[in-house]
Amino acid sequence: MKILVTEQQIQDSINKVAEDIRAREAGKPLTVIAIMTGSIVFLADLMRKLDLPMRVGVVQTSSYKGGTTRGTLTINSDMMLDVEGRDVLLVDDIFDTGHTLEKVIEMIDELRPKSIKSAVLLLKRGRQEVTMRPDYVGFEIPDEFVVGYGLDYRDMYRNLPYLAALEESDLVDHA
């Protein structure tokens, strides 16, 4: 695999995203909803840099079942907080086609929040199939299958402190 983004570059970008969120939100309480599981590392680092009142909840989504090809999107919101009348920040790991973020925003919007903003660590260039764009983006990356810093391939590599693009030789069965 080849490293695309170093650990230090990730931290520098998260500092910038947090600064932008703090400036825009001006100390208002936030309800942060993480789209699991890939965003867990990004969420942990980002929320420690947001020195404002916040509540944190999660929704779990899945569209990749054991490989690199997108399947049917499923959303489990059992662990999500009440968002009615609240400012919501949706946190996700990667904005690829955009379908996951768009569907989760639609679901949350039905619960009548005051506002919804979104922050993603990565935006994969040239892959979007939706018109919406995240409010905060850490990095724009090429169209490669990326792992590390919470992102996985067959539930492996989430623990890498950097982001790497898998090469063909890395696409092995980790059963």
Distance CA 149, CA 169 (A): 20
Distance CA 165, CA 158 (A): 13
pLDDT score at 20: 97
Active site residue 12: no
pLDDT score at 66: 53
Q: Which of 96, 109, 135, 152 is catalytic?
A: 96
Name the residue among 18, 24, 30 with its Cα closest to residue 87: 30
Looking at residue 117, its amino acid is K
Q: Do 67 and 85 meet the contact criterion of CB atoms below 8 Å apart?
A: no
pLDDT score at 70: 55
Q: Cβ neighbours of residue 26 under 8 Å, at least 6 residues apart?
A: none
CATH architecture of 9-142: 3-Layer(aba) Sandwich (3.40)
Name the residue among 55, 170, 50 with its Cα closest to residue 119: 50
For the purposes of burial, counting CB atoms within 10 Å of the CB of 2, is it exposed (0-12), middle (13-18) or buried (19 or more)?
exposed
pLDDT score at 60: 83
Domain boundaries of the chain, sorted by first residue: 9-142
* pLDDT (tens place) for every residue of the chain, 175 residues total: 999 999 999 999 999 999 999 999 988 999 999 998 899 999 999 999 999 999 999 988 776 555 555 566 667 666 778 999 999 999 999 999 999 899 999 999 999 999 999 999 999 999 899 999 999 999 999 999 999 999 999 889 999 999 999 988 877 655 4
pLDDT score at 76: 65
Number of H helices, E strands in the chain: 3, 9
0.85 surpassed by pTM: yes
- CA distance between the termini of the chain: 19
